Each structure stands twice: as C-alpha cells, then as structure tokens.
C-alpha cells in the first residue's frame, strides 16, 4: 500500500515511543528505518519495529551505552543490551570525531542487537569526507558453504568513500537472505526464495518456520563463507562472544580513515568521481543496462521516493503497527 513519508515517520515514532523509547531515541531509530523504506528496503524498515517489539516482550528497552575503554584513536562501547540502531550510531559518531583529530580511528561495540543498514553509518562518515570500513556480526543463523548447521551470522560488511556527488558505498550481507526476510515471511504467511535456507536436516526449504529451526544459506559460495567468518571474528574483536546468543551481544566494528592524511581531499574526491564516470561510460554487455557504482541505485530510489512523498509499505505491517499502538 502507498503511504505518505510523513505518515510513515509519524507511525514509526509513535510505535517506538509506545514500546518505551524516549522521543530522541525514537527519532534516531525511526530516521534509520524510514531511510530503509525510502531506499526500497522495506524488509528492514517499518517491519523491523514488530521484531523489536517481539524482542522486548513488553519490557522497557535499554537506551544507554557505556564506554569501557578509550584512547585518542580507539574506543570500546558496551551497548548494555540497547538496540543496535542506537549503539552503532554512537560508535560511528565517536569514530568520526576521533578520525578528524587522529586521522584514523577504530571503535568497537558489543552488547547490542539489530544494527540495521551498515551503509547508513558509512554515509554518516562520507558526509564528513571520511572513508569507513564496517563489519557487524550477530547470532549464528547462517550455514557455511558445504554445511547446513548455523555457524555465523548474516554478517554484513561495508566500505564507504566520499565523492563530489553521491558517496560510493559497498554494503553487502554474507547470507542469501537476512533474518528480517524470514521474520516478515512468517508474519505474512509467505514462502522464502528457493535455495536460500535449510531445514534442521540439511534439506533446502522455503518454509520460514523450518528455516528458523535450520539455517540460512551463505552468499557467494566459499568466498562469501570466508568473508562471513572474517566479519564474525571482527565482531569478536569488538567485544562479542564467538557465538552471540539469540538476538543478544552482537559485535560492531568501525574503522574510519581521513583520506586527507594521504592526499588533498578535493583531489581524492575528484579521482573517485573520475573513476565513477569512467565506470558509467563503460559499455555493458549486449542487452544489458548501464553500469553503475555501488549505492547509486539505492540513492536513486531514495531520491525518487522523497520527490514523490510516499513509499510502498506492506499493508499487513501497517495493520500490525496500528494494533500495537492500540494495545494497552
């Protein structure tokens, strides 16, 4: 169904406040969720509030973090079981401020869950003319290549670069689908894409209930499996256990670099733009589409939806959020 962006923002904010978040925290979370919707990534948009509600189970949410270690260029944050949208935002903010002073900064965080789109945080760094490398691990829901038992999380990995126009942000998950895909399919009574999940016996399944008892399939074969392992261990360095419990104690690691430490920033961005232009001008295969840089499609969808002032949202998700607001 179509819904005005302003209405979606209000719905998200009201629902999060209903769950117990302060107004400032609700605004921070809802901005991230609506950005997901604007970019056409609805599975991690408003629907995520329903999963947050399931995780909280009626208990008041934790909303504060604790810095456990800090040096001029580094820090470690204990999220104290706060939602990842808040914890990763704070870790990113700290990394950006430190990188502006030291040139390179690394901040790790643990004690969190549901981190959202890593590209959101990379875009924060790019807006300050900084390069960011981000990894985030989570509960073991994904099977490695050649296996069917869960050994690591959906484990996204992201690298972002500033440019003279749209930042270049490469943000990938290392599983064929994400946990939110399964949760939304289960809520709406839908099937999963073929070859994306295993049941507990190692057979491919399209049943979200069976997938939750089994594992998601890894993306990219052995290469994707290796990258997922790297992300899992970077999360461990950030403070998480090797196998985070179900929706608990995820790890988030961000490294931010100021490219001005190596060359003039405007010169650097001009080279980024020149590469991007050359990429777009490179001829596609016969019948193919124009080549593009990472994040261009996502940003274009966002711009189009902003101009239209409305987004497509699952009607079932809106109905459930309204039910949440009507609850006592």
The backbone region for 132, taken as left when phi is positive above 0, alpha when psi lies in -120 to 50, beta otherwise, is: beta
Contacting residues for 33 by C-beta, under 8 A, at least 6 apart: 12, 44, 45, 46, 48, 49, 85, 116
- What DSSP state is assigned to residue 180? H
| CATH number for region 2-60+300-326 | 1.10.1530.10
Task: State whether the Cα torsion 225-230-236-242 is positive or negative.
Answer: positive
Contacting residues for 218 by C-beta, under 8 A, at least 6 apart: 142, 143, 144, 145, 174, 175, 176, 224, 225, 228
Give the global pTM: 0.95
User: How many Å separate Cα 176 from the centre of its chain?
Assistant: 15
d(CA 77, CA 62): 14
Q: Does the domain formed by 64-174+223-281 have CATH 1.10.3720.10?
A: no
d(CA 70, CA 306): 39
Element of type H or E holding 26: helix 23-38
Q: Which residues of 233-256 are buried (b: 16+ CB within 10 A; e: fewer)?
A: bbbbebbbeeebeebbbbbbbbbb
Q: What are the residue ranges of CATH 1.10.1530.10 in the chain?
A: 2-60+300-326
pLDDT by position in tens, the chain (length 328):
999 999 999 999 999 999 999 999 999 999 999 999 999 999 999 999 999 999 999 999 999 999 999 999 999 999 999 999 999 999 999 999 999 999 999 999 999 999 999 999 999 999 999 999 999 999 999 999 999 999 999 999 999 999 999 999 999 999 999 998 999 999 999 999 999 999 999 999 999 999 999 999 999 999 999 999 999 999 999 999 999 999 999 999 999 999 999 999 999 999 999 999 999 999 999 999 999 999 999 999 999 999 999 999 999 999 999 999 998 6
Task: Answer whether 282's CB lies under 8 Å from 170's CB.
Answer: no
Task: Answer whether 92's CB lies under 8 Å from 125's CB.
Answer: yes
Task: Answer whether 12's CB lies under 8 Å from 30's CB.
Answer: yes
Planar angle of CA 189, 191, 194, nearest 5 degrees: 175
Joined together, the tokens standing for residue 170 give 């490469």
Give residue 328's pLDDT.
64
Give residue 161's pLDDT.
98
Give residue 327's pLDDT.
84
Q: What are the residue ranges of CATH 3.30.60.50 in the chain?
A: 176-217
* 4 backbone dihedrals φ, ψ, rounded to 5°: -65, 140
**CA distances for 68 relative to 8, 53, 75, angstroms:** 36, 28, 8
CATH tag for 176-217 (out of 3.40.50.1000, 3.30.60.50, 3.40.630.10, 1.10.3720.10): 3.30.60.50
Q: What are the residue ranges of CATH 3.30.1370.60 in the chain?
A: 64-174+223-281
Task: Answer whether 253's CB lies under 8 Å from 238's CB.
Answer: yes
Longest dimension (CA), the chain: 59
Task: Answer whether 250's CB lies under 8 Å from 134's CB.
Answer: no
């Amino acid at each position: 169904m179509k819904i005005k962006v302003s209405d979606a923002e209000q719905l998200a904010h009201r629902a999060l406040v209903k769950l117990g978040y302060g107004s400032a925290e609700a605004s921070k979370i809802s901005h991230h969720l609506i950005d997901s919707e604007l970019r056409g990534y609805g599975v991690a948009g408003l629907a995520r509030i329903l999963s947050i509600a399931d995780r909280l189970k009626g208990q008041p949410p934790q909303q504060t973090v604790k810095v456990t270690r800090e040096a001029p260029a580094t820090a470690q944050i204990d999220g104290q079981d706060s939602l990842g949208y808040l914890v990763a935002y704070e870790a990113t903010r700290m990394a950006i401020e430190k990188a502006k002073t030291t040139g390179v900064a690394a901040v790790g965080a643990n004690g969190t869950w549901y981190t959202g789109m890593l590209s959101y945080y990379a875009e924060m760094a790019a807006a300050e003319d900084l390069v960011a490398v981000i990894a985030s691990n989570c509960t073991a829901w994904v099977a490695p290549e050649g296996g069917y038992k869960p050994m690591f999380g959906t484990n996204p990995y992201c690298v972002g670069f500033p440019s003279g126009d749209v930042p270049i942000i490469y943000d990938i998950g290392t599983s064929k689908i994400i946990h939110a895909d399964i949760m939304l399919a289960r809520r709406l009574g839908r099937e999963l894409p073929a070859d994306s999940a295993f049941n507990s016996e190692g057979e491919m399944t399209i049943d979200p209930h069976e997938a939750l008892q089994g594992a998601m399939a890894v993306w990219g074969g052995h290469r994707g499996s290796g990258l997922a392992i790297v992300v899992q261990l970077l999360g461990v360095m950030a403070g998480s256990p090797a196998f985070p419990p179900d929706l608990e104690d995820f790890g988030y690691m961000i490294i931010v670099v100021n490219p001005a430490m190596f060359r003039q920033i405007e010169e650097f961005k001009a080279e980024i733009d020149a590469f991007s232009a050359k990429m777009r001008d490179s001829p596609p295969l016969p019948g193919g589409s124009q080549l593009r840089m990472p994040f261009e499609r996502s940003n274009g969808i966002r711009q189009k939806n902003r101009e239209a002032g409305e987004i497509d949202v699952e009607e079932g998700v809106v109905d459930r959020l309204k039910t949440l607001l009507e609850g006592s």
